[in-house]
Amino acid sequence: MEILWFLIAMGLLAGALGPYALRRRGGVRQVAPGSPDAADPAAYGFLLQEELDIRLPGPDQDLLDVLDVVQGTQDWRAAAQLLAGTPKEGEVRWQRVQAFAGAASLELQQRPGVGGAWLRAWRAESPKDAGGAAVHAEFLVQQAWRSSAAGTDDFRIILEEARTVCGEAALLAPGDPVPYLTELAVARGLGYTHEQFDQVWAKVIDRAPEHMGAHLAALHYWCEKWHGSREEADHFATTAAARAPRGSLLAALPLFAVYEHLPEVNLVQGFYQSAVVTKAVEGALFAVHAARPDDPLLAHVRHMLILFLVRQERWAEAMHQLVRVDGHVGALPWTLEGDPAAVYAVYRALAVAGYEANGGNPATLRQ
């Protein structure tokens, strides 16, 4: 079954990439009626693959506007102003810090020695700015994971610097959980003991006990590929979900734990229909239905659901998630791929094909 999925995915990936390549060459591609490629993304309000935004999981127009200004002018002040006006206790601040850091990191990768100059100027010209320190710490974490192999001397040196800057950011904004969230990634890379990790985690939950982003960061640490085990990761996720108040997306955390431990090659027929996976999917669906429509982590959960619902062949439910997030693909599981938009487009094409093969169409989806 896994081999069949692999062949289908590869065929659809070629289809997802093909239209753009052929348009660039001026060619015309023929598609068979009823095939996934025959479905018109526009009929469902979907964007073309090359139009998908890989920077964010969902819309944040204020952030995108400021990013355009900062990257266009190389002036950091708009970023500082936006973060200063973003509440410390919510999820939005964490996402914006990550976005600014990611933008600077990608600039540096594309233009070594030059890119990201606005972040260096921010820290040099306003060293006491809490937002700048938080972005700098996250930037260093992203640089470590992007540019160096885990465990190397360079990797550790960068993360040690990140830990120092996390401390500076925490002193500049005592009630802000973000510097400690960033240190959770440092803990994973530097191999904190469980006792060391618990000390950082206690500071996070003292400030934001229901922070979904914090729980996702902690879950990475507890996974068996880092410093825990599958049992510890599952226990962490299920305990958080059980304690979550109604309306909290923490009820979706077990699905992320399942994703963290997906086998590289699944040889068990019906794995995605298993009781463990189905229970985690149902918990995530419950969380999505109960969450506030403006919860900033809602798009993260919807993106993860798309992968599992497609693999479970629950086409209509997958389509209902797709129409709510399409346009932005900067979230797990897509961001771990070399081309997030292409992989997302494969799953979207599978969902459309399955939905239409079972009698669905744009009109029925809107009902």
- pLDDT band with cut points at 50, 70 and 90 for residue 278: very high
- Is the domain of 186 the same as that of 318? no
pLDDT(367) > 80: no
Q: What is the pLDDT of residue 41?
A: 67
- Is the domain of 28 the same as that of 87? no
Secondary structure of residue 193 in the 3-state scheme: coil
From 178, 209, 240, the end of a domain falls on: 209
153: in domain: yes
Range scoring the smallest mean pLDDT among 222-226, 312-316, 352-356: 222-226
| pTM as predicted | 0.84
pLDDT(19) > 50: no
Q: What is the CATH number of the domain that holds 86?
A: 1.25.40.10
170: in domain: yes
- Rounded to whole angstroms, the maximal C-alpha distance in the chain is 62
- Is the domain of 84 the same as that of 139? yes
Q: Which residue has the higher pLDDT, 9 or 113?
A: 113
55: in domain: yes
Q: How many domains does the chain have?
A: 2
Secondary structure of residue 33 in the 3-state scheme: coil
Q: Percent of the chain at pLDDT above 90? A: 66
Q: Among 234, 242, 250, which Cα is nearest to 290's? A: 250
Q: Report phi then psi at 53, rounded to 5.
A: -95, 115
Range scoring the smallest mean pLDDT among 48-62, 176-190, 265-279: 265-279
- Is the domain of 65 the same as that of 55? no
Cα separation, 95 vs 346, in Å, equals 26
Cα separation, 21 vs 34, in Å, equals 22
The residue range of the domain holding 126 is 61-209
- Is the domain of 239 the same as that of 265? yes
Any long-range contacts for 160-166 (C-beta under 8 Å, 24+ apart)? 160/190, 162/137, 162/186, 163/190, 165/133, 165/136, 165/137, 165/140, 166/137
Residue environment code for 68-96, b if the CB has 16+ CB neighbours within 10 A, otherwise e: ebbbeeeebbbbbebbeebebebbbbbbb
From 181, 209, 237, the end of a domain falls on: 209
Rounded to an integer, the average pLDDT of 339-345 is: 94
- Is the domain of 68 the same as that of 52? no
- Is the domain of 52 the same as that of 65? no
215: in domain: no
Average pLDDT, the chain: 86
Q: Percent of the chain at pLDDT above 70? A: 85
As given in the structure block, the two tokens for residue 25 are: 């060459």
Asked if 312 and 278 touch (Cβ cutoff 8 Å), the reply is yes
Peptide bond into 333 cis (omega under 30): yes
Rounded to an integer, the average pLDDT of 79-85 is: 96
Torsion of CA 316, 250, 269, 345, to 10 degrees: 50
136: in domain: yes
Q: What is the pLDDT of residue 270?
A: 84
- Is the domain of 40 the same as that of 168? no
Cα separation, 45 vs 263, in Å, equals 34
Q: What is the pLDDT of residue 12?
A: 45
- Is the domain of 254 the same as that of 367? yes
221: in domain: no
Torsion of CA 202, 207, 211, 216, to 10 degrees: -30
